[in-house]
Chain A
Amino acid sequence: MSTTAPRPDPRVGLRAGWMDAAEAAWNMRVVSRTPPSADFIHPNNPGDFGVINSDLSFTGPYVIQGNFSGLQVWDISNPQSPRLHRAFVCPGSQSDVSVYRNLLFVSGEALNGRTDCGTQGVSDTVSHDRLRGIRIFDITDIANPRHISDVQTCRGSHTHTVVTSPTDADNVYIYVSGSAPVRSPSELAGCSSALPDSNPNSALFRIEVIQVPLAHPEQARIVSSPRIFQGLVAPAQHPEAAEDLAAAARAAADARAKGGYTATVNGMEIILGPGFVRVRLDSIVKARGGTGTPTAADTATLRTNVQGIVDRIVNPPNRGTGPRPGPTQCHDITVYPAIGLAGGACGGYGLLLDIRDVANPRRIGAVADSNFSFWHSATFNNDGTQILFTDEWGGGLQARCRPTDKPEWGANAIFTLSGNTMTFKSYYKLPAPQTANENCVAHNGTLIPIPGRDIMAQGWYQGGISVFDWTDPAHPREIAFFDRGPMDSTKLLGAGSWSAYWYNGYIVSSEIARGLDILELQPSGFLSQNEIDAAKLIHFDYLNAQDQQKLVWPASFVVARAYLDQLARSNGLAPDKVSAARNALSRAEQWSGQRRRDALTRLATQLHGDAQGAADQAKAQTLAAAVTDLANAQR
């Protein structure tokens, strides 16, 4: 089967249209296309920003599709024919949705969001009718979401992440992320936009943590606002290592002990360079009318005043440009409770957080990017040995996949992860150029649960959907795609895939202007039928993309076959050994009971031996272990 991408790329030159644009697909096929329901589409206004579809969440047979005007619940028991279960109007972008058992959480940050879900907006600058924060609903009867309460936050909620704690069965937690301007304290007490970015003590880059008591969700409230940004430094270039406040403090103390000068800038202690010091000392000498070498008194004066001097340079007084920006928060946070970590895409930083104390996440690592990415979201691989951050340059409104746009801007940045250290390896960007009339940049996606590989499906707005393999973090590679032509060939109308998530055998995509697309992978030279079937063994009861669940494949013939296909593809095991193992599996499968078990045990032993001389020892051992598991599963 082909391992060559089609040339020329069929995504180039696709005919424009709203519901009738031309399409291109490779190694995946469309199962269904469902337009938005009547409340969420304005046929006379293509690209209407008020009804754009946003993020997805899943529970049982339902996919909940957020929309700037509310949400739609679709029954996708039959993916060929999704059925509208409920359209719920409740304006207030961006309507990021999550579920946990009988609870539904919806993010809102826009000024027009109302606590009563009304459509008339909120025109007053200060109003208690306004909702900027998290709405909580009971969805025991999902056709009739019942409003429980709202948790208002100072900056609203652009996105949110539901987090469970293995040690806290009574509560579920929500990390609230937002980057919008701060509300007036008259609207929500305690909100303050007076955040001097020069004051190290109030460098309040933080997230809000909401605790939701499962027995009493109406009592949900903010329990902490951990400061996870303090003391970050700008990067020089790749690769980035995690900064260490303590190390900086030690270096500063060391410098001072040797007579050097230090100061604190944005929470980080820095050592002042000799040139800076010389200039300041000269100024002090001149100020007292002296000349020549600074005296001991001069250096003492500098020591006393150096922090003030630095502060005035970093933030000159009386700038007179009005109120200062509020605290910067994260755009999105992905948690992986099974490994106790979260990846936060926070302004210019990718942060690694320890979330074992769920209410008090703690930053343990950070990376920034010399390409000045505005990071949007994070995804871990299943093993927790790699992390990927996306750069949503242009905010999803702009065309960033033009031929003139750099491949390292608006792309994914892939890092290996070891302990607290993230090491940059590569960028991945949609390889096909898109037109200037297509908003396009890296956006939301999830892992496709192929055992033994790290494969992700991702929405790229009007860039469509890209499925790529990042198992080798230094060499990511596209293995499937789907794309439509632009909404309009003459102007940029917002559309495209906001999110593309794998759920129980299918890739479900929230198309901003066109509704709900459901697709499935097809076998190719990059992905075998066995691998696709192995992915289908993973069954989610519910899925919030930002809450990664540990993927564990049950013992199965198809998993073993998937590993064999991978070993064959990469020449990780000699072809004759692959062939022999395939035959042995087929024979064992025809038998039952003890006979099957014995056959599998023999095969496992054979494979352990084969692994010793295999080019890919690790995978061969994994295969052997999978066969052992299969043997043990026989009764």
Chain B
Amino acid sequence: MPQRAISALALIATTACATATQQSPSSSVPSPFTAEQARADSVRSAYTAADVHFMTGMIHHHAQAVLIAGWAPTHDASQSLRALCERIVVGQRDEIALATHWLQQRHETVPDASHDMMPGMDHSMMMPGMLTAEQLGQLHGARGAEFDRLFLTFMIQHHRGAITMVNELFASQGGGEEEIMYRFASDVFADQTTEIDRMQKMLAALLFQGPS
């Protein structure tokens, strides 16, 4: 799948509903108005440093997943692994865009994840579960069933790291309170927990039941 430019115009995150905000005092149904009246910067935010750390880290984390999942077609992965990888690529690319936009809306620094897209480049943003340079090299050198086995092993590790990041977010003071943070983090948790389960079963079938 060709690398596409990640659109910077992704989901606009919303803010402010976990804490008291100015509500319209009128009890009548408002008349129609134009969207041009909206000004995102007029709304108070209720996010924390932990939220920023999570979104930033998730961009790096997802970027690596997109990288290695993108190898499936060129590394003779099995049909079912290719289907899984394609889904991971599409889904996590969109989540990178969401996280990017969330940070931009709050005038927080958006990390440069382009280095994460290239194997063998060590960097300081090693989030939980991310593959080391050595692991990346191992995976990159594998083909066919060996690629399948290594990919599943490493991606399970990778997904578990994402789960850890979600748990750390929710364990932080005020983290994950903001509505969209909660939703995004919960979705990551739910999706990746499901994928871990699926990958474990694929790995079991590969490891234990294959003919040779």
**Which A residues fall within an 8 A CB radius of B?**
16-20, 34-35, 37-39, 41-51, 68-69, 84, 91, 93, 109-112, 119-125, 158, 179-181, 184, 193, 197-198, 232-234, 236-237, 263, 265-266, 270-276, 310, 313-314, 319, 321-325, 328, 331, 347-348, 368, 370-372, 374, 393-395, 397-399, 405, 409, 436-437, 439, 487-488, 490-494
Which residue in chain B gives the minimum CB-CB distance to A375?
B194
Per a CB cutoff under 8 Å, which of A43, A123, A274, A437 touches B24? A43
Which residue in chain B gives the minimum CB-CB distance to A21?
B35
User: What 9 additional pairs, Cβ within 8 angstroms, besides A121-B177, A125-B173?
Assistant: A43-B37, A43-B38, A49-B180, A180-B189, A233-B201, A270-B208, A274-B211, A398-B94, A398-B98
Which residue in chain A gives the minimum CB-CB distance to B166?
A181
Per a CB cutoff under 8 Å, which of B43, B172, B201 touches A42? B43
| Contact status of A263 and B208, CB under 8 A, knowing A234-B201, A398-B94 | yes
CB distance from B72 to the nearest CB of A (A): 13
Which secondary structure dominates chain A's binding surface? loop
Of all A-B residue pairs in the complex, the 4 with the closest CB atoms, nearest first, are A50-B17, A234-B201, A49-B14, A275-B212
CB distance from A287 to the nearest CB of B (A): 20
* Cβ contacts under 8 Å, A110 to chain B: 179, 182
| Contact status of A490 and B83, CB under 8 A, knowing A19-B32, A112-B182, A393-B91 | no
Complex alpha-carbon distance, A263 and B157, angstroms: 22
Does B208 contact A272, Cβ atoms closer than 8 Å? yes
| Contact status of A112 and B179, CB under 8 A, knowing A45-B14, A234-B198, A491-B10 | yes
Does B193 contact A325, Cβ atoms closer than 8 Å? yes
Q: Does B119 contact A (CB under 8 A)?
A: no
Question: How many B residues touch the partner, as a band?
Answer: 35 or more
Does A68 contact B201, Cβ atoms closer than 8 Å? no
* Cβ contacts under 8 Å, A310 to chain B: 208
Residue interface bits B34-71, CB-to-A below 8 A is 1, else 0: 11011110110010000000000000000000000000
**Which B residues fall within an 8 A CB radius of A?**
7, 9-21, 23-30, 32-35, 37-40, 42-43, 46, 80, 83-84, 87, 90-91, 94-95, 98, 101, 128-129, 157, 160-161, 163-164, 166-168, 170-174, 176-180, 182-187, 189-191, 193-198, 200-205, 207-212
| Contact status of A492 and B212, CB under 8 A, knowing A37-B29, A38-B26, A50-B17 | no
CB distance from A309 to the nearest CB of B (A): 10
Does A17 contact B27, Cβ atoms closer than 8 Å? no
Does A374 contact B190, Cβ atoms closer than 8 Å? yes
* Cβ contacts under 8 Å, A122 to chain B: 177
Complex alpha-carbon distance, A47 and B194, angstroms: 28
Which residue in chain B gives the minimum CB-CB distance to A39?
B23
